[in-house]
Amino acid sequence: DSGVTQTPKHLITATGQRVTLRCSPRSGDLSVYWYQQSLDQGLQFLIQYYNGEERAKGNILERFSAQQFPDLHSELNLSSLELGDSALYFCASSVDSGNQPQHFGDGTRLSIL
């Protein structure tokens, strides 16, 4: 158990819809990262938040957004969903002090029908 909690584990929805994925980081971790893993792309970094503020963006689509709340949990919002958005979405957290590693949750599997 990494200590990072992601909900829901599975999500099935239709094209054009909007969903919210939730992540609770490990106790004490200030940074939250979101990654996407699709079959043909591997693990790709989407976005990082540190103590409530956005710190880095990767290959995140404009239809996607995220935020980190005062209690440090984070949500990833995906809108106008397309078939190609079907993927595993992972959240990771870290202390971000020096060389400390990131720890990943078990992910949310998003299926777009």
Out of 36, 48, 68, 93, point to the residue binding other proteins (CB under 8 A). Answer: 48
Return the closest-CA partner of residue 81 out of 90, 89, 69: 89
**Least distance in angstroms from the C-beta of 82 to other proteins:** 21
64 touches other proteins by CB under 8 A? no
Which residues of the chain form contacts with other proteins (CB under 8 A)? 2, 4, 30-31, 33, 35, 42-45, 48, 50, 55-56, 58, 88, 90, 92, 94, 96-99, 101-107, 109
